[in-house]
Amino acid sequence: MKAAFLHQLVLRREETVRRWLHTLRESPVYSALGNPETLRFMIGPTLDRLFTAVREHVEDGWSPEAPPAKVRLMEAASRCALNPMIGYYLAGEAALVSMVKEIAPCADFSETDLLVSESQLLVLLREMGRAEITGFCEICRVREPMKAMAGHTGSGLPAMCPFKAAMEGRSEPGRTLNV
């Protein structure tokens, strides 16, 4: 990743925070933990961690011919609207992508460099998000999300927590689970 690309992102940090928060405010909230006014305090530290991770990968030799492995933000078993980290990281990704689209190629980096750097940035963000999403699923105590949110209507609420179901499946002898 080009150091000049990171510099451009750092210059746009406050606008990134504003867009991230705006996207959070526009998204549906299924639990108190997903309140945008609570999550807003995580945006700055998340960007700090992301920019630190980017600095550590500035000179990686990724190229358009050999892109990084596709990293999913979450496993299928973690897809539950009660996990506020999913919306949080999706909002962050949207904010960062919109900021990258405003960076113009220059003498320090070409259009190709921008696209490669954007891909690298998103891989790092998804790796961070995946760890936090999974961590939240591990400590969540809700076994039946649909019942827990009886007053809400939402297609994102499964009847049984897929993460807990997957964990129960792993503990059965002779059974393997693909998550």
pLDDT tens profile 76-130: 667 777 889 999 999 999 999 999 999 999 998 899 889 888 988 999 999 999 9
Number of domains in the chain: 1
Among candidate residues 136, 16, 128, the one with its CA nearest the CA of residue 82: 136
In-domain check, residue 176 = no
Please check whether residue 111 is in contact with residue 144, taking contact to mean a CB–CB distance below 8 angstroms. no
pLDDT of res. 146: 76
pLDDT at 178 exceeding the cut of 50: no
In-domain check, residue 175 = no
Average pLDDT, rounded, for the chain: 83
pLDDT of res. 174: 45
In-domain check, residue 159 = yes
pLDDT of res. 177: 40
Domain that holds residue 63: 3-165
d(CA 101, CA 141): 39
List, for residues 152-171, the tens digit of each pLDDT value: 655 557 777 878 878 776 65
In-domain check, residue 171 = no
Query: Could you tell me how far CA 171 lies from the centroid of its own chain?
Result: 28
In-domain check, residue 177 = no
Please check whether residue 82 is in contact with residue 157, taking contact to mean a CB–CB distance below 8 angstroms. yes
In-domain check, residue 174 = no
In-domain check, residue 74 = yes
Q: What is the mean pLDDT of residues 36-62?
A: 86
